[in-house]
């Protein structure tokens, strides 16, 4: 988990499992559908134990559970499938643990995001439910929105539009029409002011993506222990000289502790730090290393290092360290 290739490997394993089970089953399987690791199928009533055994015999670390249709219905993903004589009908399904909690209408978010919450719930209730169950699903969605302080008038207006759109879908515009590329800019949301900014930027083909700054994580204390500076990586750092006002600025992708040890035991004079020590007989205070910036992207980190060197008048770094810094940055930092 956490590795970029893990999802692809999981998909390959499940595809192989699916093929293995279906090919080894000695009974007819009318249909089999899978979404990630949730599967739904139809089997003879007396083969329940056998199908479960086939799935669980694939690998000892992969163990499945089984849920059987009850009262002619079964839940699958966000649907309740009703097994009727005329076929299968669907109904929007929510778990017993569903809290009905969404972005509160009184919270500090742009009205566009609040409208999107209503549209999202409306579409789920309308599109996932058969006409026989649609009214029930719509009522449930509206009740959830009211619990989050959404005005009834706004709820009804948007639901009316989504229902009209669902039943009267207009033909999509031809794909041959060239769509204008949109540019996005993320800014903190400030009531009233942000809406005015959005209108101004829209005239320049820039869409503002609003983000909140009064976040829950800023209210509650952090549960994780702070990472010691020496165990931080992908940083731009500064080391002060013991004998003058000079500082050495560098960047590293490895642990800061390992990079500092590299400076301490460097015998080849490969850095400006060692050159300064050799020329002036000065020493550096490795106990007072300061982290200036953190950046995972290598190219961005290199640019930030050059910016910090250019900003600091006491930097003992070689002038060649900033050769690749654009003159635009140099003029700004003067």
Task: Quote the pLDDT of residue 329.
Answer: 61
Task: Quote the pLDDT of residue 7.
Answer: 87
Four-point Cα dihedral 89, 95, 98, 102, nearest 10: -40
Query: Which range marks the domain in which residue 134 is found?
Result: 76-168
pLDDT in tens, 184-205: 888 888 888 888 888 888 888 8
Question: 131-134 contacts: CB < 8 A, separation 24 or more?
Answer: 132/89, 133/82, 133/89, 133/90, 133/91, 133/92
- The arithmetic mean of pLDDT across residues 26-34, rounded, is 89
| Res. 179 pLDDT band, cuts 50 70 90 | low
Task: Quote the pLDDT of residue 332.
Answer: 55
- CB of 159 closer than 8 Å to CB of 121: no
Specify the range with the lowest mean pLDDT, choosing from 161-175, 230-244, 296-310, 319-333.
Answer: 319-333
Task: Quote the pLDDT of residue 224.
Answer: 73
Domain tally for the chain? Answer: 4
Same domain? For 239 and 303 the reply is yes
Same domain? For 64 and 81 the reply is no
* 62, pLDDT greater than 70: yes
Residue 174 counted as domain residue: no
Same domain? For 26 and 97 the reply is no
pLDDT in tens, 256-273: 999 999 888 877 767 888
Task: Quote the pLDDT of residue 311.
Answer: 87
b/e per residue 215-246 (b: at least 16 CB within 10 A): eeeeeeeeeeeeeeeeeeebbbbbbbbeeeeb
* 171, pLDDT greater than 70: no
pLDDT in tens, 100-142: 999 999 988 889 899 999 999 999 999 999 999 999 999 999 9
Same domain? For 80 and 108 the reply is yes
Residue 129, CA atoms < 13 Å, CB-side half-sphere: 22
Same domain? For 164 and 126 the reply is yes
Same domain? For 326 and 239 the reply is yes
- CB of 185 closer than 8 Å to CB of 208: yes
- The arithmetic mean of pLDDT across residues 82-107, rounded, is 91
Residue 175 counted as domain residue: no
Share of the chain above pLDDT 90, in %: 44
Residue 178 counted as domain residue: no
Residue 177 counted as domain residue: no
Helix (H) or strand (E) run with residue 179 in it: none
Same domain? For 238 and 323 the reply is yes
Task: Quote the pLDDT of residue 176.
Answer: 44
Residue 173 counted as domain residue: no
Residue 90 counted as domain residue: yes
């Amino acid at each position: 988990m956490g590795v970029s290739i893990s999802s692809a490997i999981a998909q390959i394993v499940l595809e192989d499992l699916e093929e293995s089970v279906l090919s080894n089953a000695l009974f007819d399987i009318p249909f089999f559908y899978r979404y990630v690791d949730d599967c739904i199928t139809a089997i003879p009533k007396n083969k329940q134990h056998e199908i479960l055994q086939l799935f669980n015999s694939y690998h000892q670390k992969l163990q499945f559970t089984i849920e059987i249709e009850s009262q002619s219905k079964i839940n699958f993903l966000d649907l309740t499938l009703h097994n009727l004589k005329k076929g299968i009908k669907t109904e929007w399904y929510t778990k017993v643990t569903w809290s009905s909690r969404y972005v509160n209408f009184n919270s500090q978010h742009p009205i566009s995001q609040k409208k999107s919450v209503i549209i999202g719930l409306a579409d789920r209730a309308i599109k996932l439910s058969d006409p026989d169950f649609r009214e029930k699903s719509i009522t449930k969605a509206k009740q959830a929105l009211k619990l989050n302080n959404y005005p009834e008038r706004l709820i009804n207006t948007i639901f009316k539009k989504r229902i009209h759109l669902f039943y009267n879908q207009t033909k999509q515009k031809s794909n041959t029409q060239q769509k204008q590329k949109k540019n996005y800019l993320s800014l903190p949301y400030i009531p009233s002011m942000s809406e005015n900014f959005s209108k101004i930027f829209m005239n320049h083909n820039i869409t503002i993506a609003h983000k909140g700054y009064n976040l829950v994580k800023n209210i509650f204390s952090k549960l994780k222990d702070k990472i010691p500076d020496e165990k931080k990586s992908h940083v731009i750092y500064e080391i002060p000289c013991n004998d003058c006002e000079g500082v050495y600025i560098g960047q590293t992708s490895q642990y800061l502790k390992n990079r500092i040890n590299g400076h301490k035991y460097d015998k080849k004079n490969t850095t400006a730090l060692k050159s300064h020590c050799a020329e002036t007989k000065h020493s550096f205070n490795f106990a007072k290393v300061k982290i200036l910036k953190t950046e995972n992207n290598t190219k961005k980190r290199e640019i930030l290092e050059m910016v910090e060197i250019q900003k600091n008048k006491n930097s003992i770094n070689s002038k060649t360290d900033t050769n690749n810094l654009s003159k635009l940055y140099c003029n700004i930092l003067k």
